[in-house]
């Protein structure tokens, strides 16, 4: 049976080809800890937030790209557990980019070969 026939039949049945959602899985304990932190700090003043350094990192994988994967799913179901691809932050063969910002400025941009700070 031709591929386009299968695709058409799946589409007629209400399934659509989509890229899976990529995320770091959070356990129920992680979610509780995040909510606790947010509630604890929601009344902070701008002066208090001025003492905080916000950081973020992005990892770029040079081995393979699972973003090319396609799944067939119903509309509005992208965050169901079977439709999520879990990210592994500690694979080798990548590049980690890290930086931070605060109210009085920003950090330099740091690049870490190997995909994690521990790999350096």
CA separation for the pair 98, 118 (Å, rounded)? 13
Per-residue pLDDT 10s for the chain (120 aa) are 888 888 888 888 888 777 777 777 889 999 999 999 999 999 999 999 999 999 999 887 766 555 566 777 777 776 666 666 666 555 556 788 999 999 999 999 999 887 555 544
Q: Please name which of 58, 57, 53, 60 lies closest in space to residue 107, comparing C-alpha atoms.
A: 53
What is the per-residue pLDDT for 26? 87
pLDDT digits (tens, 9 = 90+) for 90-100: 555 678 899 99
Tokens encoding 65: 């790209």
What is the per-residue pLDDT for 50? 93
DSSP string, 76-117: T-TTSGGGEEEP-TT-SSEEEEEEEEETTEEPPPEEEETSSG
pLDDT digits (tens, 9 = 90+) for 61-75: 766 555 566 777 777
């Amino acid at each position: 049976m031709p591929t386009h026939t299968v695709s058409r039949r799946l589409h007629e049945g209400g399934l659509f080809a989509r890229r899976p959602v990529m995320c770091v899985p959070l356990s129920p304990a992680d979610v509780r800890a995040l909510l606790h932190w947010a509630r604890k700090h929601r009344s902070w003043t701008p002066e208090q937030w001025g003492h905080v350094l916000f950081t973020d990192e992005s990892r770029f994988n040079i081995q393979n790209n699972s973003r090319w994967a396609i799944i067939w799913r119903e509309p509005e179901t992208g965050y169901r557990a079977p439709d999520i691809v879990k990210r592994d932050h500690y694979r080798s063969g990548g590049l980690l980019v890290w930086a931070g910002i605060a109210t009085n400025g920003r950090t330099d941009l740091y690049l870490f070969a190997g995909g994690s700070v521990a790999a350096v």
